[in-house]
Structure formats: C-alpha cells, structure tokens
Chain A
Amino acid sequence: MSKIPLQFRHNGRDVAIFVDGGTNLLVALRELIGDMTPKFGCGQGGCGTCSVLVDGELHLSCLTLAETVAGRSVETLDGLKQGPNLHPLQRAFADHFAAQCGYCTPGMLMAAKALLDRNPSPSRDEVVEAISGNICRCTGYEPIVNAILAAAGGRISA
C-alpha cells in the first residue's frame, strides 16, 4: 500500500507525516506523531476516550480518517496546558477529584473544552449532554460534571 503525505496543524504546530490509506487519526497521532494523550478505548466510537478537536469541533479520532484532517487544525489534550500552567479545566478536574484511573480523562477534557469554547457558561444539563458520549467507570460522572461547571464559572477552587 502506498503512503499518503499528510500535513496538518497539531496543537498549533505544523506537522507532516506519511500515512497508509485508511489509517485513522488516533493511530496517526499516537504512532506517527507520538502524541499519546488521545487514548485507544474501544476503537469503534463507543467510549469517547480518543476525543480530539478538529477545527474546534469534537471528533472521535478512532473513527476519523487521518487524510480528512489535511490542512486542518487538530487539538489534543497535549496542547491544553500552557507551559507549566495547567489549563483551567485540568486544574478544576484535579481540584474536584474528577479522575481516578484516568483513562477517560483525556476525552472528558476535550469534550469539556469543545463545550466551553462555544458555550462559556453552560447549564448542568448542557454539561451532561456534552460528555454523554464519554464513558467513565470510576467517578460516577458527578465530580466530572462539577469540575466542568466550576471551570466554566471561574471557580477553580476545591
């Protein structure tokens, strides 16, 4: 199979890679770019832990053909913190104990970012709706919902 050249922006940086036809974005990010923050959960869109933003829109990277992001901007959890400073959402997740095993956390954070980027002060129902495609086994969701609401309200304390 011939390789396809692919260029896109990855967390604000231009990247160029060669992918096999049919390669999904999750594999491209993890294995070719080395960004391990999107996780492989189910590989078929059922769990949400591979979630990334493409041009600001939430996508399941396991179901996104890598070729379709050519020339577009892909944001992953790796791009969330600015230098040593955690993103307010990350800070809120820590303060609200919104992670236990942590496997769903990258997808939860990206789903939350997609929400807050378009709706800076969501209602509780809107937060629930925004993370309804992401499965968490440990937390019971409530700490995650509370963390996102706190980040939205600027109340980033414990």
Chain B
Amino acid sequence: MTRHRGRGMASINYPIGMNLGGDPSQALVHSNPSGKFTVALSSIDLGQGMKSVTRQICAETLGVPVEDVYVDTADSDTGPHCMGSFASRGTHRVGNAVMAAAREARGVMMEAAAEELEVNAADLETDGRGNIHVKGAPHRSISTKDVAIAAQFKQGKTISGRGIFLVPLSDVDPETGEMSPATCYAHACLVAEVEVDDETGEVAMVRMDSAYELGRALNPRLVEQQLVGGAWMGVSHALYETPEPYYPEPIHGPRDFVEYLMPGPGDICPHDIAVLERPAPDGPFGAKGPGEMCANPVLPAVANAIFNAVGVRIDDLPITPEKVLRAIKSQGGARPQARR
C-alpha cells in the first residue's frame, strides 16, 4: 500500500448572474419618521450575508450610518420583484438595485433638508454620521431624523426611492450567432494537493491555495467566509456527494444525512486564499460576487491532483474510492505523474 501525493490546478471565469429576461431585481428604500431607513427586497439571504452587504450599500449611498438602515427581505408576495438568490447575483444585481433606490431616496432627503435649512440642495452634503450640513459650513446642519420628521409632518413628502437593475439585452451577431450572455465576470485559480491511497482508493485533501478576483470586496470578512465555506462544498462535490446510488438498486441510494456523504470537520485541510480586487465597472461600488464560484475550481483541481498522484483520469463525480480503485486496476497500478 502506498499513499501518493499529487497536485492539480484549475482556473475559471465565472459570469455573475444570468441573462434570461434581463435578470432584473428591484429594491425600494424609504425612511421612517425616526430617520431610519428600510430597504424592502424580495431577495432572500440564505446566510451568505446579502442583508449585510445591501445594508452597507444603502447606507453608503444615502450617506447615513449603517446602523440607521434596516433590510427587510420578509415577503416576496408584498416586496418588490427579485429573480432570486442564485447565480452569484445577489451583491451585483440586488446591490445595484439598492444603490439606485438609495440614490433616489437621498435626492428627496437632500431636498427636504434644503427646505429646512433654506439653502440649495446642491450645496448640502452628508457626514455619514446622521447629519446633513452645508458644504464648508458644518454648523449649518440638520440631523436626518429631523429631516425625516419635517418631511413626514411638515412638508408632506416621502423620503423614498425606487431601484431596478436590468441587464441590457445582448445583440446577436447575425453572421456568427455570437452574443454576450453576461456583463460581469469573476475569476479564480485554485491549486489542490491530495493524497491518494492506492490500496483503498481513498483521497484525502492535504491543502488548497487559491486566488479569487471578485471585484471590490464590499465586506472582506463575508467574502472570506464565503470562500472558505464554498471550497469545502467544492471538496464535497468532488469527492463525496451524490444523490445517485453507489450500488445497483435506487433503494441503496442515500436517504438521509447519515447516508448522504459529506466531509466532516476532520476531512478539511488548510486553505490559503488571496483575494484580488479589480472593481467591476457595472457593479455596486465595483463589486461582483463570490457566490457559486467559491466551489467551482475545486472540482477540476482535485480531479487533476488525483491524476497527478496516481495517473488516473476520472471524469465522473464524485470521485469515490471505488472509481479510483477501478481506474488504478484497469491501468495496471498507480502511475504517479511528474510533479512541478
């Protein structure tokens, strides 16, 4: 029995969102009489942090503290329309919609403040701490709370804004049929190192090193969280998970968490991540989105690493010990490839 080390690499281009129907999302932003803002979305945060990121985007655009913004994703029956939380589209699509809505709401807020301060709205700026003041004259100031109260009870205005993001329809080249299905691409490269046991066919992860280019990281800790967790899911798809039965009868297939294999805390490996930020021209504050592509490069990198370790090319997922063993057997033994 020998354990063979192997290293494999994969790089990907990942389109953010999709093109179908323009892939739109809407957002509505309004202030309460307390001067706090609510962002209404139908988009759902599955735990990736979309509520946090859209909150940051709204606060930054409005020029108010992040604590003054509440993101409500409660109800897709009553909220503005969203295509959904998939295709790594949340930060980019929903973020752009929130930005547009917040920009419109900011316009009304500044007009209402201008009326109270008896100045031109163009001469006003926000301090990001909940105040609006005349440029160059911070003492001529009003709080966003007082502006909200004045708008509500005196001026009869709603401080609100509407936003939508819609991908422009791509023209199709009549000669070639070529079109641009996406406006924004993220990129990644990942090197996986594995150890393959040529007696049991088991593949153990040794380490991963990756670089992700995902536009501006609006919340670096959330980006890191996505990348760490997503890579684990990539390993899981590469080596463990399948709804298919391993043995002939469907009844032998996985029926629950006990039988549906996933790597546990003992199967993880060190993962060194570099995040490269090249702001996207059409992203909110330059953001693209980590989303699904955290998992994508792991699968081909692991398959390549297994080839490097024992010389078998397995193109059917997940790469189970059985597949590894059968492949090694059919080529007459492990054939470690050159390591670079």
Contacts and interface: CB of A to CB of B under 8 A. Distances in A.
Contact of A140 (B221, B228, B256): B228
Interface in A27-77: 41-42, 44-47
B257 A140 contact: no
Interface string A85-100: 0000000000001011
Interface in A109-158: 127-129, 131-132, 135, 137-145, 158
Most buried by B among A45, A140, A141: A140
B232 A140 contact: yes
Contacts of B271: 140, 142
Contacts of A135: 257, 262, 264
Contact of A100 (B47, B231, B266, B268): B47
Interface string B217-232: 0000110110011111
Contacts of A99: 47
Given A46-B257, A47-B257, A128-B266, A97 B231 contact: no
A101 interface: yes
B225 A97 contact: yes
Interface residues of B, number: 23
A139 B229 contact: yes
A128 B265 contact: yes
A139 B266 contact: no
B228 A44 contact: no
A139 B225 contact: yes
B221 to A, nearest CB: 6
A46 B225 contact: no
Contact of B231 (A128, A140, A158): A140
A141 B264 contact: yes
B19 interface: no
Contacts of A128: 265-266
- Size bracket, chain A contacts: 20 to 34
B47 A101 contact: yes
Contacts of A102: 47
B46 interface: yes
A140 B233 contact: yes
B257 A42 contact: yes
Contact of A139 (B232, B258, B264): B232
B224 A97 contact: yes
B317 to A, nearest CB: 18
A99 B46 CA distance: 11
28 contacts: A42-B257, A44-B256, A46-B258, A97-B222, A97-B224, A100-B47, A100-B49, A100-B225, A100-B229, A101-B47, A127-B265, A128-B266, A132-B265, A132-B266, A137-B233, A137-B262, A139-B229, A140-B231, A140-B268, A141-B232, A141-B264, A142-B232, A142-B268, A142-B271, A143-B228, A143-B229, A144-B265, A145-B265
A-B complex: 9 closest residue pairs judged by Cβ atoms: A140-B232, A101-B47, A100-B47, A46-B257, A141-B265, A46-B258, A140-B229, A97-B225, A128-B265
Given A100-B225, A142-B271, 5 more contacts: A129-B266, A137-B262, A139-B232, A143-B225, A144-B265
